[in-house]
Structure 1
Amino acid sequence: MLKIRLIALGVAAIACCMLALPATAQDASSASALDVPDTHVVASLEASGVQIYECRQKSDGTLQWALKAPDANLYDDAGALVAHHFEGPSWRANDGSQIAGSVLRQAPSGTPNSIPQLLLAAKSVGAKGVLSDVQYIQRLATVGGVAPARACTSVGEEGRAPYLARYVFLR
């Protein structure tokens, strides 16, 4: 058990270092495709968590992984936990404010085998607070999170893929 935890910590440390590397030209061009003019940053938070996939049956009877939900904690630059990201997609801040998002655009990640970067429209669905005036969410600098490489074998089976990203909340 200790060995598994140490391996997981090592993988997380490597992934965190990858986020600190300079952006590539592809990162910059992909991120610029997700820009929204005339907006201001409300918060820019680092996410660490998993993308949860579920084994589903396609119309032809074959099985495939499908995204079920994210499950991630979002931290500020000082390392303080600020919000949680979950099914919806939704984000809930510690102050009770909550938003739901809908995808507007996506761009490839600058990191191979990683979920795409996204621009989402936001709608407030919670209390007044840090997230209540957010109009857009950018998911940038994604690392990991793609569906498991192994085949799924039974409907309802879950697979979890660790991921990191920076979420930028705009108004």
Structure 2
Amino acid sequence: MPTFRLAPLALLASAALLSACGTMMAPAPMYSQAMLPDAVKVPAGHKVVLETVGVGEITYECRAKQGMAGQFEWVFVGPDAKLMDRAGKQIGTYYGPPATWAANDGSKLTATQLAVAPAGTGNIPLQLVKANPAMGMGAMHGISHIQRVATQGGVAPAASCDAMNVGSKQIVKYQADYIFWKAA
């Protein structure tokens, strides 16, 4: 008789467990650089340790072109963005100059550009940078490379840049994924 009473409880527990498993989320797919141009791929022997989405602004300034009298252009001044994790929580910032990636834990780093590749009309280019040694222990410690991918917006303004508005600044919205790599 006791086994008869345990069987319905076991059946109920099994059903609850199966139900919970059915609602679990599948793990996020691992980042792949397969579809990226070779120029911005991180060399073999490295692994992704952090994926972020940078959401912010890029400032441009109207300046005279170097060595070209009477000609003017919008010049990149620097970024100001929040770095969000894939769940939308802010985990750091990206600002410059110099281009600096800073984690909320106080660690930060700068980097040297290695390559860029076109990202479509109206979008800043894809980019690969080699990280300089990080300042502080934390999320940025040991980072070897950073990729800027999935860019949206951020190109120089379409507004006129001429002698009448030299020195004026324009702010352009942008978004990009920043993928952080370490040696494997």
TM-score for the superposition, normalised by structure 1: 0.79
Aligned to 1:97: 107
Alignment of 1:20-169 (within 5 A): 28-30=35-37, 32-36=38-42, 37-58=44-65, 59=67, 60-87=69-96, 88-109=98-119, 111-152=120-161, 153-169=164-180
Cα deviation 1:43-91 (Å, max 9, x = unaligned): 1101111111011111223221000001110100111101111111111
Structure 2 CA distance for aligned equivalents of residues 64 and 57 of structure 1 = 6
Distance 1:41 1:29, change over 3 A: closer
Ranges of 4+ aligned residues in structure 1 off by more than 3 Å:
none
Aligned residue pairs, count:
143
Q: Which structure has the greater CA radius of gyration?
A: 2
* Counterpart Cα distance in 1 of 2:62 and 2:134: 30
Cα pair 2:57 2:79 within 8 Å, conserved:
yes
Instruction: Map Cα deviations across residues 103-137 of structure 1 (whole Å, 9 max, x no partner).
Output: 1011111x421100000011134211100210100
CA shift in 2, pair 1:125/1:38, >3 Å: closer
How far, CA to CA, are the matches of 1:81 and 1:70 in structure 2? Answer: 16
Following TM superposition, by how much is the alpha carbon of 1:33 offset from its aligned partner in structure 2, in angstroms? Answer: 3.4
Mind listing any 5+ residue stretches in structure 1 that lack a counterpart? 1-26
**Per-residue deviation, 1:145:** 0.2
Q: Any idea what the Cα deviations from partners look like across 1:23-56, whole Å, max 9, x if unmatched?
A: xxxx9243x4322211111211011111110111
Preserved CA contact (<8 Å) 2:61 2:168 = yes
| Aligned-residue RMSD, C-alpha | 1.5
Give yes or no for contact 2:134–2:142 (8 Å, CA) kept in 1: no
Q: Kindly indicate whether the alpha-carbon contact (under 8 Å) linking 2:74 and 2:156 is maintained by their aligned counterparts in 1.
A: yes
Unaligned runs of 5+ in 2: 1-33
TM-score under structure 2 normalisation? Answer: 0.73
Question: Distance between the aligned counterparts of 1:157 and 1:127, measured in 2?
Answer: 36
* Helix, strand or coil at the partner of 2:110: strand
8 A contact 1:63–1:154 mirrored in 2: no
Aligned-residue sequence identity (percent) comes to 36
